[in-house]
Structures are given as C-alpha cells and as structure tokens.
Structure 1
Amino acid sequence: MTPANPGLKHLSNALATPDQLSNTSSSIDGVPTDLETSIRCAGAQLTQAAGILLHLPQDTIAQAIVIFTRFWLGADGGSLRIYSAKDVSAAALFLTAKLSFNPTSPRSILNVYNFLLSQEVSPLWFVNPRGAPREPPPSESYILTEGGYQSARLVLMRIESVILRTLSFDTHVALPHTIALTYLQTLGVTKSAVARRTVEHLNATLFSPQLLYVTHQPNALAVAAIYLAAREEEFKLVDGEWWEVFDVDREELGFLVVGMRSTEGFMRAEVEQWRNRPIPLVIDQVDAEIDRRQNMREGE
C-alpha cells in the first residue's frame, strides 16, 4: 500500500495501489472479479452485523471492515480459495475490538458468528435467503458446544495472526466520521439532518464496490459525504469551491460523490443476483460456485 503522509499519520491511511486493486490473490487463483466483489461486500456486512450484536461502537466496527478489506488486496493478500471470508471477518473484528477500549471475548465473537452464519436462523439475506424465522430460535441452534468452541477458537487465533502478518502488523485505520463533524462545524452547518445524512453516507460507503475506504483519504471521504448530504437535504453551503480548503480537488470530489451514490444501487443488484442462494463465505462454497459457473459455460 502507498504509505500515509507522515505528517498526518493519525488522520490518513496507507492507500491501495492500482496494482493491488487489479491483481488480487483471489483473482490469481481464478476467482471471478464479480464473485470476489460480492463476497467482500457480504463479508463487510457480516462484520457490521456481528459488531452490532456485540454492542461494539461503530468506529470499532468500521475499522474492522477496513482491515477485512485490506486483507484481500494485492498478490500478497489473502485468497478466497485459501481463507474463508467468514473467518477473516471474525478475526478482523476480534483484533480491532482487542485494540480498542471494548475488547470482546473469543466465545462471544464465535457464538455471534455461529448465529449469523446459520442457514436456518440467520437474519442476514446473503446467508439465509428464506429470511429469519418468525419465532426466536432456541439458543441450542446457534450456541457452540464446548468442543465446537475450542476448534473455532483455534481457527480464530490462527487467522488473526495471518491478518497481522499479511498487513505487516499495520492495523492503523483513520476514519472520516470525526473529521466530517469537524468540517460541518467549520462550514457553519447547524441542520442536524445534514450531519445525520453525512454519517449515513460514510457508513454505507464501507460496503462500496469501489473500496473507497482503501483508495481515498478520510478527509476526501468526509468532504464528499458532506457535499452529498447537503444536496439531498437542500442545505446551501458556503459559496465557492469550499472543498479545496480541505485539500480535495473537484475531480476527486466528483468521483467520490458518484461512488457513494452508486452504493445503494449496487446493494439492490446484489440482492437481486443472489436472491435464492447464499453468497459463499467459506472456501468449499467458493470452489463450488466457481465450478457451477464453469459447468454453465461448458453447457452453453
């Protein structure tokens, strides 16, 4: 990744290079680009859902999603044919929580993931296409047995160490949320709806297929979210090209605004594409999906 600005280390991130984006380990191993995108997005949503159930702060969850995303980038990154997305998601959340003021036990992490990944009781559309049951499921349907917990714990610890090695132990993630709120105050924005919509855009962008959190610095993400929120709430900001004050040029702003606006459409398309079947989040399922597509091509 391209190193962050040393003078603004705590407010900036190391960014992915074009080569890392186009030549991932998964693509080298024959995972189609659209399948890789679907799995990465589903993994990010899984991380978000698990963090909410664990009552973790949104900044901790967002940092975990960014670490999860970084893990798959480049030829030296993780491959979806070697590591299961569900395991990387759990380990990224466990690692990030451990580094925060809200550490979470391995048992809590693994029980939550076991629930969310159950194709019988999961409320997640990409795991359980039939939808969550109307009646609350019995706890024995998703709480791990002691033997199951011990096995899963070993996997969790192993994948955590793999993530750290893959990222060269660089777990720093600067988020745009606090920066955006500071910019709103600087711009004199007093309408709470604009601030709320700004944060909503920043959270939704965590699932962007363009991977905006690893290709653009937090200040640029903050500016784009403010610009878009103000437009949607019909709130007039200061005259002139105010974004340049925050070190963002018009071209970058335009790209980010388009990217943020496209996330909702992308998510709708994903739901439509995977309507009747789960998105593969384990290695065997990924291999089966690749084989299914190959058989379909050969049968044409």
Structure 2
Amino acid sequence: MAATGLKQLSNALATPDQLSNSSSSIDGVPSDLETSIRVAGAQLTQTAGVLLGLSQDIIAQAIVIFTRFWLGADGGSLRIYSAKDVSAASLYLTAKLSFQPTSPRSVLNVYTLLLSQDASPLWFVNPRGAPAQPPAPEKYLLTEGGYQSARLTLLRIESVILRTLGFDTHVALPHTIAWTYLQTLGVARPAVARGVVKHLNAALLSPQLLYVTHQPNALAVAAIYLAAREEGVKLVDGNWWEVFDVDREELGFLVVGMRSLEGYLRRERQLWQTQAIPMVLEDVDSEIERRRMMDEGE
C-alpha cells in the first residue's frame, strides 16, 4: 500500500537516450527547431486549456503528456505528426480521463481560433499580433465538414498517443507536494505560495523538459527556494532541501532552469518575430527546406 502511494507521487522519467535521440532528430529536424515547436506546443496547450475552462491540474497533465509523446526514438516525429494535433489530442485525452471532460467540438473550435493567422492572439502563430478588430467568424470557425474531418484526426491522434505512451497516462504534479512542504517549513504565506505556483506552471514550458527529467518533489523544492528568495522570506537554517530528498546539485540545476525560461522565451520572440513557428507538417518541412537552402547559399 505504501509503495503504491509513493508511486502516485512520482513519474517515470526520460532516459538520457530518449533525451538525446528523438524520433524528430532522426528524421532530420534540427534540435533548435524541435525545441521551438515543443515549447510553442506547450504554450498552445496551456492557452487552449484556459479557454476551455479546464483546471490547471488538467492542463499541466496534458502538457506533460504532450512532452512525453516526442521523447526518444520510439516517440512521435514532427515529420509525421503535427504538433497542433498532438496538443489538441493530449488536452482532449487528459480532460476525458478527469472529472472535467470536454467535447471534441469544443476542443476543435478553440484550436481553430488559436491557430488562425487572422484571429489568434498567440505570438508564435500570429507574429503581427492579435487584430485590433475582431475578424469575421468564418476566418476562425469550423465548417461542419471541417469539424467531421478534424474530429477523426483528433480521435486518431489520441489513439497514437496512448499507444506511444504504452497507455501510461499517469502524471504526478508537484503543486500539492509544494503546498505540503510550505506548511512543513512554516512559510505558507500567500505571496510565497503564489510565487511557487507561478514557477511550477512556468516550468511546464521549459526547453530543458524539467517535468520529464525531475520528480515532483524536486520541482516543488526548487519552486519554493525561488519564491522564498524573491519574497525575501528566510527559510530554516541548513540544507533543508535534503530533508525532501533533493541534493544541492539537482536543486541548483532546477533553479537555473526555472530562472532561464523568461530569457529563453524573449529570445524566441525575437527569433520568430517575422514568421510563425511551424505547428503543422507542411510548415515544418518548409522550414527545414528553407534552412537547407540558406546553408547551401541558394
């Protein structure tokens, strides 16, 4: 019983081989492009979940499932599956398995809006920015025929995700653990708690894949460390993180990773300021070809 309880608080982590040899890289997707698409896909999942009114727990689990799908040589390839389809299916699947299921039509309507280059508020879809005036509905609404086709794709990709993950959809999140640790440390102040949640949610977008390389307890400790420092709250003396089974090296890596996200996203916006990050197969192929031509001076 105790072992089962501990298992529910931990995750199966990515192996070094999975991190260094993705299916996308084997298929010729440059590592920086793969990272850009993966981070954009996580942001797309987050925004879609908010628009659908889903809880942050469900959204976070969907982002982790989305991230896991691309891991390793046996994972999904960006030359075979569109990131936007995997994002939508991850969110639909996670919501379906929760207390807050949502319909395929609702999911697809939201994704049609978010991926519309005329209506999307997302910078990596619409670099020009959201339109000042609401566009005509036909620019971002699915037709009935379009819905039926998109629904079949959604359900097919859902099945692909389940098979790729070996039907293991368990995701342990650090948020509840972090609250327990805050109470144990006697610093469960609202400002610190808000900071912890901010860092944990931001870490879902990490290019270092923090949620699939570190256990929830370590993520919780790093978020507490950062939030307490930012609020000027002194924690207990000594290496308190060791009490929660986190060593100094791991804590340092996570703190640096969490703090570097803002700078990474800023650089991404500068890098992609004139074009959208490719979220569908055709655009990925076009970007790879564009880079090839530039390298060859054509």
Alignment TM-score > 0.5, same fold: yes
Amino acid at match of 2:278: P
1:125 aligned partner: 123
2:73 aligned partner: 75
Unmatched runs of 5 consecutive residues or more in structure 2: none
1:84 aligned partner: 82
Task: State the distance in 1 between where 2:15 and 2:253 align.
Answer: 17
Task: State the distance in 2 between where 1:267 and 1:71 align.
Answer: 22
Number of equivalences: 296
RMSD: 1.0
Amino acid at match of 1:219: N
SS at match of 2:204: helix
Match of 1:217 among 208, 215, 226: 215
User: Structure 1 residue 195: deviation in Å?
Assistant: 0.6
Structural mapping, 1:50-199, within 5 Å: 50-199=48-197
* Residues 108 and 150 in structure 2, CA contact (< 8 A), matched pair in contact too: yes
1:265 aligned partner: 263
Task: State the distance in 2 between where 1:174 and 1:265 align.
Answer: 27
Match of 1:239 among 217, 237, 240: 237
Spell out, residue by residue over 1:113-138, the C-alpha distance to the aligned partner (whole angstroms, 9 max, x if none): 00000001100000001111112233
Task: State the distance in 2 between where 1:237 and 1:66 align.
Answer: 30
Spell out, residue by residue over 1:230-273, the C-alpha distance to the aligned partner (whole angstroms, 9 max, x if none): 11111001111111111111111011101111111111111010
Unmatched runs of 5 consecutive residues or more in structure 1: none
* Residues 179 and 188 in structure 2, CA contact (< 8 A), matched pair in contact too: no
Task: State the distance in 2 between where 1:177 and 1:270 align.
Answer: 27
Amino acid at match of 2:286: A
Asked if residue 13 in structure 1 is aligned to residue 11 in structure 2, the reply is: yes
Q: Percent identity at matched positions?
A: 80
Task: State the distance in 2 between where 1:6 and 1:77 align.
Answer: 27
Task: State the distance in 2 between where 1:240 and 1:68 align.
Answer: 38
* Residues 122 and 130 in structure 2, CA contact (< 8 A), matched pair in contact too: yes
User: Structure 1 residue 140: deviation in Å?
Assistant: 2.7
**TM-score normalised to the size of structure 1?**
0.97
Asked if residue 201 in structure 1 is aligned to residue 202 in structure 2, the reply is: no
Amino acid at match of 1:189: V
**TM-score normalised to the size of structure 2?**
0.98
Amino acid at match of 1:132: A
Q: Which runs of 4+ in 1 moved over 6 A?
A: none
User: Structure 1 residue 194: deviation in Å?
Assistant: 0.7
Task: State the distance in 2 between where 1:9 and 1:270 align.
Answer: 36
1:287 aligned partner: 285
Task: State the distance in 2 between where 1:147 and 1:255 align.
Answer: 49
Spell out, residue by residue over 1:184-227, the C-alpha distance to the aligned partner (whole angstroms, 9 max, x if none): 01100142111101100000000101000000000000000000
Task: State the distance in 2 between where 1:159 and 1:146 align.
Answer: 20
